Amino acid sequence: MVSIKYFRLSRIKPSAAISKNREESMNKLGIVGAGAMGSDVGQLASESGFNVMIQDISKNALEQARNTISERLNKYLGEGRIDKVRSEEILSNISFETDMKKLSLSDIVLECVTEDKVEKMKVFSELDRICRGGIVLMSNTSSISITALGSATRRPESVIGIQFLIPARIMKVVEMIPGLLTTRETVETAKDFVKKMGKDFVISKDCPGFIVNRLLCLMINEAIFLVQEGAAAPEAIDKIMRDGLNIPMGPLAIADLIGLDNVLAVIEEMYTGYSDPKYRPCPLLKQYVSGGYLGKKSGRGFYIY
């Protein structure tokens, strides 16, 4: 009964002054995972006024993230989108660390590791041990239960899903997923974070695949079935979807961009979570992933890069 009363009270909308103070005090962002998403969000956050720390156990991943951000900024510089002072400022506001303990200095933390439930729960358990009380812990998961990730901590009320869409710097909206125990205060803090990053948001219930991937990955999976059955070539499938429906990319090109291993992980999570055969992953997708055809990041997926 006490928890029910607390939940109801916590849903009271905060004043604009409280929201402004919270946003102004949110200066240090910690990111766990230096992959494509971690580096993309890290750059965006630095551009948005955060001091960013990207943490990864792999020095090579951190070096690659630094190089990716630097190369992108040089491209912006060459195009006249920013000047040299701004480019140096953005890069200087990002630090790259292998020691997770240094994330204890963060005001808010975003987990961006591989789409693996066990690995993510390990990260959240460690963040719970390292980070001070009151810090919101966010996950960039595409499909894994936020309630489950929160259960790896002693503060499930402070855990929330914030799914940036690829590419994070460009896409205007994010998906926000409160867990079963996530409080209204945590949701409001996440909203302020998203606002400071210059993004809009939609809120989804904590269900496998949430909104975007429940729709997108089914489309991708069906497109792969078409390839497997010889109904059409990848180029034809993408062309009719892209030009016929006026979407920026076809489903197979999107799959290559996301990473076929990530697509498979999301579909398998939905297949397990819903126990519904419509989420059965296409055997060709599983074969490609087993063979190392992961998409753009490996140089080969449904297309050659």
Helix (H) and strand (E) counts for the chain? 13, 8
Confidence of residue 22 (pLDDT cuts 50, 70, 90): low
Chain center to CA of 103: 18
* Share of residues in the chain with pLDDT > 90 (%): 91
Tokens of 282: 């296409």
pTM of the complete model? 0.88
Confidence of residue 26 (pLDDT cuts 50, 70, 90): confident
CA 134, 140, 141 angle in degrees (round to 5)? 115
User: What is the phi/psi pair of residue 200, to 5°?
Assistant: -95, 175
Tell me the Ramachandran region of residue 266: left when phi exceeds 0, alpha when psi lies from -120 to 50, beta otherwise. Answer: alpha
Kindly calculate the radius of gyration of the chain based on its CA atoms and give it in whole angstroms.
20
| Distance from C-alpha of 16 to C-alpha of 245, rounded to nearest angstrom | 41
Confidence of residue 25 (pLDDT cuts 50, 70, 90): confident
* Share of residues in the chain with pLDDT > 70 (%): 92
Q: Is the pLDDT of residue 77 over 50?
A: yes
Tokens of 193: 């974070």
* Beta-bridge partners for 108: 29, 136
Please report, for residues 10, 19, 141, 146, 285, the alpha-carbon distance to residue 115 in angstroms, rounded to integers and kept in the order given. 31, 31, 6, 13, 16
Please report, for residues 1, 47, 134, the alpha-carbon distance to residue 7 in angstroms, rounded to integers and kept in the order given. 10, 35, 17
Tokens of 219: 């489309």
Tokens of 155: 């503060």
Neighbours of 235 (CB within 10 A): 13
Quick one: which of 257, 269, 69 has its CA closest to 161? 269
| Distance from C-alpha of 76 to C-alpha of 163, rounded to nearest angstrom | 25
Domains, the chain, ordered by start: 2-203 (3.40.50.720), 212-298 (1.10.1040.50)
Q: What is the pLDDT of residues 147-164, one digit of tens each?
A: 999 999 999 999 999 999
| Distance from C-alpha of 35 to C-alpha of 96, rounded to nearest angstrom | 12
Q: Is the pLDDT of residue 63 over 50?
A: yes
Answer whether 263's CB lies under 8 Å from 255's CB: yes
Tokens of 12: 């009271």
